[in-house]
Amino acid sequence: MYLENIILHNYRNYGDINFTPSPNINYIYGENAQGKTNLLESIYYLLTAHSFKTKNEYELVKWGGSYLRIKGKVWVKGDISNINIYFSNNKEKKILVNGKEVKRDSFFSMFPVVIFHPEDLLMIKEGPLLRRKFLNREITRMYTRYWKYLQQYYRVLRQRNSLLKDQAVKRKDLESWDEILCFYGSKVVYLRMKFLNKLDKYFKEIHGTFTNNKEDVRLYYKSCVNLEEVTQVDKTGKDKITEKEIYNQFFNLLKDKQEEEIKKRYTMIGPQVEDFNVYINNKNIKKYASQGQQRTAVLSLKIALFNFLEENNKFSILLLDDVFSELDEKRKRAVLDFVEDKGLQCFITSYEKKVIPAEKNSFAVYKLDGGGLVNENSGKFN
Amino acid sequence: MHYPQSLQELINTFNSFPGVGPKTAQRLAFYLISLPGEEVEKMARAMVKAKKRLRYCSRCFSFTEEEQCNICSDTGRNSFTICVVQHPRDVLVMEKTGQFKGKYHVLHGALSPVEGVGPEELNIPRLLERIKNEGVKEVIIATNPNVEGDATASYLSRQIKPLGVRVTRIAFGLPVGGDLEYADELTLGRALEGRIELE
Ligand SMILES: Nc1ncnc2c1ncn2[C@@H]1O[C@H](COP(=O)(O)OP(=O)(O)O)[C@@H](O)[C@H]1O
Ligand SMILES: [Mg+2]
Ligand SMILES: [Zn+2]
């Protein structure tokens, strides 16, 4: 997949811009606050109708403006799609693909894109919320049914918690919600485990490349159910997670916790409290790794995601915002080699130009200055 | 500009209907006043008549003009099977399949703690009484195939099973998260055949 053209009107600090990037590597540099992150955000927004920076979409409209418009042409497996997103301050929002209106939920997994940006580091440094968000977003992209399960799960959870808030909750009333809670909950947990197991394989591989095999990494899903017990060896000798076993454990655990839940007045177990950890050489990265190590690990995770998507026939665009700030020379090179070898479309931003080695002359280099892009290869003004 | 008071009142009335927004309410109001006087009076009479005459069937809680609805008083139908539905309109949906020959019980909703609806707010105690008194052998639960409908089914099954009665749930082929109302006769007919035993 690649982006042929993007047109912004009133997006963040951009008034009007018409950008026709290279189908390969686009290197965009410029001083602080020139709109590098905003540009990557707009590409991400064009392809997902979500911002990776904010939940409040008003922020995307240029100050003083009342609406924004993003248009783009995207090639997917030999077919071109025209995307048109319109968004106004009075909450009106329209997503059109080839002239037909598309709902946001189904649009989200239509055009795969992977972003790495500096704030992704918080995913490792902070509590489980951002990690769960990462899972929910990326699993939805991989297995569309996941979103439906998650929504249904939260609907049951809301009902059950509302019941638990009642001081005089009856056991038989509570129990009538348990089966349906476990039904959707086990589907959510199952897909999270399956997703992380697969992602782990790509993660190990790419992180090995980036670190000269000095760091062995691992992803580990922290569930209420016992991972070892729900994983069984199947006929072909492979590990297989069994959804039924997750259901059973979840259901039994709910019974064990009933007393405590009635006392505490909320549902204590389930995907809403679960988390995953990243390990480097068997140590939890959150506590025992340097900032640079953490940063490389997040980058590896994002690239692993890209490879995982690719293996599932979803060839995505890669956005790397400010990726080089804390990487040493070797790692910078490894990243550049990776994107070049893949032959994928990639957008890299940086505050300096000198990162690109002389022989990487296939890069399209742009200078960003006050919301205007200048192509330095051709001198053409975009 | 303000509309005359009576017109505004009419618009507000329509606006209070479920699923009717201000624009539709306006259109309906203008349509109504464009009709001949006797037409409007006929409509008003129909409304008042329906409201006056209709009441809940004392047995199944569906709508009726008598003490009991014509399904409950039909001696040709078997009383051993009760089909439990959420809403009176679901009775009609089930009847259209032509495949069900038992009786009904209308809950008038589904369990929903968020909205303060518990078993006592539904006609569940009356259902349990009927099962005990009417020699019921099977209860088919046809609540909506969504989270609340499923929890209601689970609750009912836990209450009814210990009475030694077979409990089944129609589930086959119904859209997940939907309303019974929107299931067509064919899928519902199949659903009825493929009903599953509740554990
Ligand atoms: N809605 C908006 N309207 C106008 N300018 C905005 C808007 N949102 C952010 N900005 C401006 O965009 C600039 C930041 O752009 P950013 O893409 O983060 O820069 P960088 O090049 O450092 O990545 C800031 O100067 C900010 O004031
Ligand atoms: Mg930036
Ligand atoms: Zn009746």
Mean pLDDT, residues B110-134 taken together: 94
Tell me the two tokens of residue B14: 């329509």
Pocket test for ligand 1, best of A12, A61, A88 (most atoms within 8 A of CB): A12
Contact A28, A64 (CB under 8 A): no
**A162 contact residues in B (CB cutoff 8 A):** 113-114
Say whether pTM exceeds 0.80: yes
Q: Please list the pLDDT of chain A residue by residue as tens digits (382 residues).
A: 999 999 999 999 999 999 999 999 999 999 999 999 999 999 999 999 999 999 888 899 999 999 999 999 999 989 999 999 999 887 788 999 999 999 998 899 899 999 999 999 999 999 999 999 999 999 999 998 999 999 999 999 999 999 999 888 889 999 999 999 999 999 999 999 999 999 999 999 999 999 989 999 999 999 998 877 667 666 776 777 788 889 999 999 999 999 999 999 999 999 999 999 999 999 999 999 998 899 999 999 999 999 999 998 888 999 999 988 878 888 888 888 888 888 889 999 999 887 777 676 778 999 998 778 888 876 554 4
pLDDT reading at B186 higher than 60? no
Instruction: List the CATH code of the domain at B69-170.
Output: 3.40.1360.10
Tell me the two tokens of residue A45: 């927004």
Tell me the two tokens of residue B147: 């989270």
User: What residues have their beta carbon closer than 5 A to ion ligand 2?
Assistant: A 36-37
CA of A171: which chain B residue's CA is closest? B155
- Rounded CA-CA distance B147/B111 in Å is 9
Q: In chain B, which among 140-159 make CB contacts under 8 A with chain A?
A: 147-148, 150-152, 154-155, 158-159
Options 1.20.1050.90, 1.10.10.10, 1.20.1630.10, 1.10.357.10; CATH for A127-311 is 1.20.1050.90
Percent pLDDT > 70 in chain B is 85
The closest of B98, B108, B86 to B181, measured between CA atoms, is B86
- Rounded CA-CA distance A37/A336 in Å is 19
Is the CB of residue B177 less than 8 Å away from at least one CB of chain A?
A: yes
DSSP string computed for A319-348: EESSTTTT--HHHHHHHHHHHHHHT--EEE
pLDDT of residue B97: 86
- Rounded CA-CA distance A232/A245 in Å is 10
C-beta atoms of A180 and B150 within 8 A: yes
A1-112+315-382: which CATH architecture? 3-Layer(aba) Sandwich (3.40)
CA distance A164 to chain B (A): 9
The closest of B189, B19, B165 to B105, measured between CA atoms, is B165
CA distance A165 to chain B (A): 10
Options 3.30.1540.20, 3.40.50.720, 1.10.10.10, 1.10.8.420; CATH for B5-53 is 1.10.8.420
- Confirm or reject: Cβ of A32 under 6 Å from ligand 1: yes
How many residue contacts between A and B have a Cβ separation below 8 Å? 47
Least confident of A112-126, B38-52, B179-193: B179-193
pLDDT reading at B173 higher than 50? no
Nearest CB neighbour to A173, from listed B119, B150, B176: B119
pLDDT of residue A240: 77
pLDDT reading at B88 higher than 60? yes
Q: Ligand 2 centre and the CA of A273: distance in Å?
A: 32
What are the residue ranges spanned by the domains of chain B? Answer: 5-53, 69-170
Alpha helix ranges (H) inside chain B: 5-15, 22-34, 37-53, 88-97, 124-133, 147-160, 185-193
- Rounded CA-CA distance A296/A298 in Å is 5
CA of B177: which chain A residue's CA is closest? A152
CA A239 to centroid of chain Cα atoms: 26
pLDDT reading at B100 higher than 60? yes
**Nearest atom within ligand 1 for CA of residue A38:** 17
* Closest residue to atom 9 of ligand 1, CA basis: A12
- Reduce the DSSP state of residue A226 to 3 states and report it: coil
pLDDT of residue B188: 56
CA dist A285 to A139, A165, A289, B179, Å? 22, 37, 5, 48
pLDDT-derived band of residue B175, with 50, 70 and 90 as boundaries? very low
Is the CB of residue B194 less than 8 Å away from at least one CB of chain A?
A: no
Give this complex's ipTM.
0.83
Domain boundaries for CATH 1.20.1050.90 within chain A: 127-311
Q: Are strands A2-11 and A67-76 parallel, antiparallel or unpaired?
A: antiparallel
Alpha helix ranges (H) inside chain A: 36-48, 104-107, 122-125, 128-142, 145-165, 171-175, 178-210, 227-230, 243-264, 285-288, 291-311, 329-342
Interface of A with B (CB under 8 A): 148, 152, 155-156, 158-160, 162-163, 166, 172-173, 175-180, 183
pLDDT of residue B44: 95
Contact B135, B153 (CB under 8 A): no
Domain boundaries for CATH 3.40.50.300 within chain A: 1-112+315-382
- Rounded CA-CA distance B111/B122 in Å is 8
Tell me the two tokens of residue A18: 């018409």
